[in-house]
Amino acid sequence: MMGTPPTQETPMQLELSAEDAAFRDEMRTFFTTQVPQEIRDAVAARRELTKEQVVESQRILNEHGLAVPHWPTEWGGRDWTELQRHIWNEELQRANVPIPLAFNASMIGPVLAQFGSQEQKEKFLPKTASLEIWWSQGFSEPDAGSDLASLRTTAVRDGDHFVVNGQKTWTTLGQYGDWIFMLVRTDPEVKKQAGISMLLIDMTTPRVTVRPIELIDGGHEVNEVWFEDVRVPAENLVGELNSGWTQAKFLLGNERVGVAPVGSTKRVLAQAKEWAGDQLSDPMVAARFAELENELLALELTALRVVAHSSDGEPHPASSVLKLKGTELQQAVSELVVDLAGPASLASGAGDESELPEWTRRATPVYLNLRKASIYGGSNEIQRQIISRTILGL
């Protein structure tokens, strides 16, 4: 399925079957012609997308059956091979198309398809795929980040409702959220993993408060969310009471499979070569590019091996390798761009009227924002523990 190793002059290409090559060309044509150029230009320039841009892009994909291909077919999925899913993901990133909103497509959607009641599936899955509902993730708390099982937000049964009290933090894009999927403690007397449940909460419910957290790059991407005696219908419990840890592990496993953005990192590195200009004549700069290109090639080949061994639908343990190395390379490329911009990278507050190229003004905000990449989806320290246990047998 894979071709001969690439030369330095030519990037690696897959030797696809005629059917898969036609599939790749179909994806490439669709992504480059059907998603508005304005949105794709914003992604290429590494700008923060507006809510409207994210919604518009995903709805276009969903209308053509391309938003949630990994879901069950009855809920909008496609009965694709793992290789086809990989091609879809790579071509989407290559074309600067926004990846479908992870909270919807990769997190709560698969969880509801696997664990939700029929009523929950019918109520939520179509609107989740189309982004008619924008989901937020309510997992992390001030004292429960990587040690997620230590969460303290409580949900106490009161008749036909649960009463929720507590705080969630680092809620990405929570300012746009319509609903939030939450891990809550429903039994404080048992082992901490055994007393957790998952609830779905309408964020317009009284006494749900979203407060912004200003980031070091000046953006408003994350929030803290407070719950004070919030009444949630018991029908919004996902699965059985106290089964939330099983659902959380399922969600995080699916999240990590696509968390190594090989396609977009390759694209940014190729852009960086153009931005570098005369700096490429510096042997040290050229060596950094060569090293990153080689490591990205190795990561891409690893991703293909994971694809080849994930046909049973379960995340392969090597997905932790992808997450670990993928985010390290993503950060390394962003650091290279800052170094290429030099002093101009300090002009991150400059407006569009600045004479400095946009890529230099975006260099530092992107670099700072991507510090999170080695934390979300399970910190890289946690990934090393997973790798040591499940792959190395230590």
Q: Which of 141, 221, 255, 293 is catalytic?
A: 255
Instruction: Say whether 255 is catalytic.
Output: yes
- CA distance linking residue 189 with residue 195, whole number of Å: 8
| Active site positions, annotated | 255
